[in-house]
Chain A
């Protein structure tokens, strides 16, 4: 039975990630009183891209070709080890804990950077250097956040943390939790590329993550984009299921129907978060590039203060 759930979870992540991205684009456009693309537009884009041919620069190495597939693989693997549709660990969930998940995210972005460098495109190099400098600060913060949240359950297991936060209102309303939530929200903005860090347009002045796949075409680009959608989906799911709204996730004794119902509830939660992002994208303006580092410093400060708050409240 567990195997079936695992397959269902992978398929869930795979198939619904573009939908969530499409809903975000549509919402942003509707908030600006425009018609906007259809919600299924990312699917149409992916199907179109799969039909096109991939062009490869002559000077690149096999890393360029294989990169997007490796990244795709990483994200699929992460989909199993996180609590997305169930609150109990599935088949391979014990392969990596929370910190391992954070490191896997880091590995995926490292591979992305390698492929970008290998593409020998100037814009890709630009994006890589910016992404690397931001990443040098945001990856440790992410690991710090994961560790701090693990402190409240004395483990590093996201499933146990989910359980603790669902049942104990003392931890849910504590300062530690509050600080970590705000810090992770900031990291989420940076990693998924929302305003005020990165806007959707391809402006050279502000491109960070968007500049990296500049040289890709065809099927490789389709994989790359799909992997990007999955990354957003996974990070948002972690935020919702482990940090903010760990409720209603089906536990071990739930039946199949509960899990199916929960898949719908999870989509609703994601749409709620996407609405927040859409509001953010239509109201704030983009930071000057170097201000992003100060923004990250604030996130680091909050994560750090979380550890001090925990230390104080320990009896």
Chain B
């Protein structure tokens, strides 16, 4: 059991690294300034301190400021491709191009505080 979990995780890590390396080659460069025109759709939930999701499952929407850009890109793509299931995030992510995703990830990952706007 112990070894099986280890093997499963190691295999999964290797596979995901491989997938990541393949995806990284074609990802567009993100621009935080470009994201200024695009964050309106994020702000309604992520831009309100302490904001929580709606019934039936209630929890705080995650903090995005200072998160790694790669993780944010992967998260949005996961919603887009159906690997993550939050309904509003799936809807929003589906409307984003690869460039939009890169810009938003650049904006949030380089953000330094509440009033950060460049």
Q: Is the pairing of A and B real?
A: no
Binding site for A on B (CB under 8 A): none
Chain A residues packing against B (C-beta within 8 Å) = none
